[in-house]
Chain A
Amino acid sequence: MPKCTINGTEVEVKEGATVIEAFKKMDEDIAHYCWHPGLSIAGVCRLCMIDVEGARGPQIACNTVVKEGMVVTNQSEQIKDIVKWGMDFHLINHPLDCPICDQAGECGLQEQYMKFGQYDPEMDQRKVKKRKVVDLGEKVVLDSERCILCSRCVRFTDEVSKTKELGIFNRGDRSEIGTFKDKPLNNKYSLNTVDICPVGALTSKDFRFRQRVWYLKNEDTVCNGCSTGCNIKVYYNEDGLFRVKPEHNEEVNGYWMCDDGRDIYKFANKDQRLLKAKKFDGSTWLEMTAGKAMQDLHQNLFNDVKTNCSKVGVVFTGQYTNEEYANAMQTFKSLGVASFFEWNDSESTKDEFDGLLIRGDKNPNTKGLQDEARNHSGLKSLSDAISAVESGQIDTVFVMAPENISVYPNYQKTYESLSKAKNFIWFGANKTEGFEKTSSANTYLIPMKSYIEKDGTFSYHDHAQKFFAVTTIVAGALTLSEAMTLFQGKELEFELRAKPMTSLKNNHFTLNRGKL
């Protein structure tokens, strides 16, 4: 393990590590655009300049391997000057787009200009104009004027997604990023290029112009789009969630996530959610709060379930947390109910894996569900449940419905088949408008919290991850555990928890209003 000295402090790094990694380890400022820890080294931006003691001249930190006893600094006047005018060179043809650029507020150029640049431009020639608003594919838009040709996006499609759609075309100041003629950027990981682009050259069609980034807070959580469980950051404000970006976790997802996972914020937003509990008593739908509905359920059905426990079925999906499964199964077991079913619309593809991140099992917690059920009487399949309902073997069904319904193509069909039962209790986060009318039974619809709003643990295919509530979107919704407590006729206990306002510090513009 070689040791080196970075700006006067000694640091030990891994064998073969580069100087820029040592800088990052020390949290020392160093200008850079093209280096990305998840990609190969390109050394094209020439901003990560350092002085190495004994070397002939300045070097680039991203392509210099640390050697034992190396003494490195980037504090000398000469280096600062090189970086400053290097930055000027990058910005010669850069348009004055910040007001309409989606990257503004989290832009590498803005940040590094304030840190290392702050020069007065000395260019008196006209700017080279390039193509704007180029449609690269289904999800990504390119603005070649803003591109600084760091080649991160090209390296991403070459090395990580291995789809090789992007390239740099032309030469000199006419160089441009582009796709080969008939091959749009449509791979399953394309939005990662937007994340790693240090400027606003690549933007996401989904997020474009919907919010300014400084209006958003962010919080870490995990993705529930499949059983990989990428670590993510969700960006939200009082209007709901707006986007999802990957967070680095070497053991799970590295620096990346798939494009489908970035849509998970959509089902959690208010316009997709069941806001109030509903009860159908054979003729009309009554709206009530979730707590009221659970009390009602306790009075009407609790004793019934106890006495008729052999005619009760509980259908689970792999979209709830371990804690909720434990609680719910315990509750039903104590009532004597033993028929547990598993509903999984991605059953047939559940062992598929694309070699990078995407897994065929589109539930985050199938493993947690199956592990928990092993402590009880195991899980039967959904078709068993449907036939039992049809034959009248089961007349009371509790359904723990999925929240990410985009991976449940049979969502409505299953609702319709199961709602033929005499008593039908549906716990779900999504709105059921459009098909709730088909039910003729004693039906309850109980709004559930999405996983963004609760604490819990998911057991993914080979690891478990704990996550914490990010924000509240539907105030009246319950977790499954809360619903079970109320179902047993007990009171809810509230734990008031002061949340540290970590995200506030991200909101630089609001905090420094008037001082900028």
Chain B
Amino acid sequence: MKALAIAWRDVRRQFRSGLLLLMMLGVPLLLTALLYFAFGSSRGGPSLQPTALAVLDLDRPPALAPVAVGRVLDAALASPELSALLRPQPATDLASAREAVRSGRLGALLVVPADATRSLLAGGSVELELVTDPARPLAAGVVRDVVQAVADGLSAGGVAASVTARLAADHGLPDATALALRAAGTLAAQGHDPAAATLTVVPPVAGGASLAQRMAAQVMAAMMIFFVFFTGAFGASAVLREQEEGTLKRLATTPTTAATQLGGRFLGIALTLLAQIAALLLASALAFGIAWGRPLSVALAAVALAVVAAGFGVLLLAFVRTSRQSGPVFGVVLTVTGMVGGLMSATMPDLPPAFRAASLFTPQGWAMEVWRGCMAGEGPAALAPTLAVTLLLGAGLLAVGVPLMRRRFAQGV
């Protein structure tokens, strides 16, 4: 297959350039590592304020219960180790607490259901509802991690327990997404024995690291998007370099159709971008312990990112005359659009909503939306709207850029 040979040529050339390789993989990982270790060592970091967490304890334990879920949670969340991260306070009614989260007066709300203790003792599962503000992904992540750790401790009453977090549907809140934390565990026989039931709360030993991880994840996603867009642009502009080398013209003297050349070229760009994304995801998962999300969501997000980055690259190619110009032009355009797209401020809490709205005028902003959802654990269904917009945007960019490219490099491409 000639198209494959062309794609392979492009992948090989891209990965053979030390400078490009550094930009594709080295720099994004390095920037993330700098931040990770800066925050990892300062245990919580100076920039993050403790999140105000309201606890609405509706739990009504049976009279002789050895343990009360609500009270254990309260005590655990109020422990001094967590004071840098959480400022727990009791809430009195659901409606006003939700409103407080929505309006930003509270960082998060944890609801302990009425039958919590009863159903835990009966060996059933307890659903703790966590309401967070999606505009503050870092705070939401910290609260989720801490509550999860506490719930882990609760359900670790000597039994194997599994805790899975999932995003639940919006519980009537217009803006905020409700995060439901399901602590599923079965108490074995000895769990009823107060002495054996070690319902200690595992303090988030990795509390600082968890914050660092949370920040690293945001930064890594942003850096990945930033540099993947560069790869897309340089991948598209490879044709310019070939024109200058004379290899594009030589290719036009061989019996290779324009369609084959175009197909091979885009296959090469797609493979390069996907390889870069995969390498960054894997390396950052290993180095910083970033959880990227569900495998299928991650795969879809990677494809969407590759498509939109390639599309933007092909469009940018139209504004570059020579390969010498490509560096500065791509640098300026991708840095500006990346900043507007929110890639430089991924870790800043409480950005004004206008900023978020502005980011959606850039392809990078949409890509970041997709990855944010992915990291929040969204499944393909929940991710579908942002994914669809991003893919359509990419397709639209290609629809504009490819004909321009074909016209300009008429002797080949």
Same complex:
no
